[in-house]
Amino acid sequence: MRQVPNLITAIRILLIVPISISLAHRQLLSTIALFGLAAGTDVADGFLARRFGWQTELGSILDPIADKLLLATMFVTLAVLKLVPLWLMIAAVVRDAVIVTGAAAYRFFIGPVVGRPTLVSKFNTLCQGAFILAVVARAAFDWPPDWAATLLGALVLSTVAISGVDYVLRYGRLAARAPQHGAAAGES
């Protein structure tokens, strides 16, 4: 049963392809439904892992990767369709690339990464999801109002910048305090 949250996360990863195809073909109702289903899997896997103590090392890696892949794919597709500005897509994708690259470098040079998302990072993910839904809903229904989508876009940009800097500073401090990888392994 410990693997149930990981299976749910795998479903979210598998949903990325049909969501992006649906969006690319401007099947916006399907996109909203599938994106909502993916968001539901994110809530479900996290709830089950915490509620029943089913957290695993694999899950701590898969869950944020699933989120980053889904959001990055949505931002890129929306930018290609000219539904979001290119600069906002770049900001969101670069933030995630910096975080993933930093985590990989930390793992390679220092040691295991303890993946605990910060409150601002969780808020950023929520803002990105709300913004994506607003943009797709606006294209489908001409709702929410333009000002609401713009406000959400500004919130995304702000939280992308704040959470990106927060991760860099946080892992920079951890790296500065950590013993050298070679020294920790007994090498001179």
Summarised one tens digit per residue, pLDDT across range 138-168 is 999 999 999 999 999 999 999 999 999 999 9
Average pLDDT of 122-146? 97
The closest alpha carbon to 4, from 38, 43, 49, 34, belongs to 49
Tell me 180's DSSP state.
Answer: P
Residue matched to tokens 């609401």: 148
Write out pLDDT tens, residues 74-96. 999 999 999 999 999 999 999 99
pLDDT digits (tens, 9 = 90+) for 57-72: 899 889 999 999 999 9
Topology of domain 4-184, CATH: Four Helix Bundle (Hemerythrin (Met), subunit A) (1.20.120)
The domains of the chain are located at 4-184
All residues at 6 or more sequence positions from 148 whose CB lies less than 8 Å from its CB, including other chains: 134
Among 13-17, 93-97, 171-175, 184-188, the range scoring the smallest mean pLDDT is 184-188
pLDDT of residue 186: 36
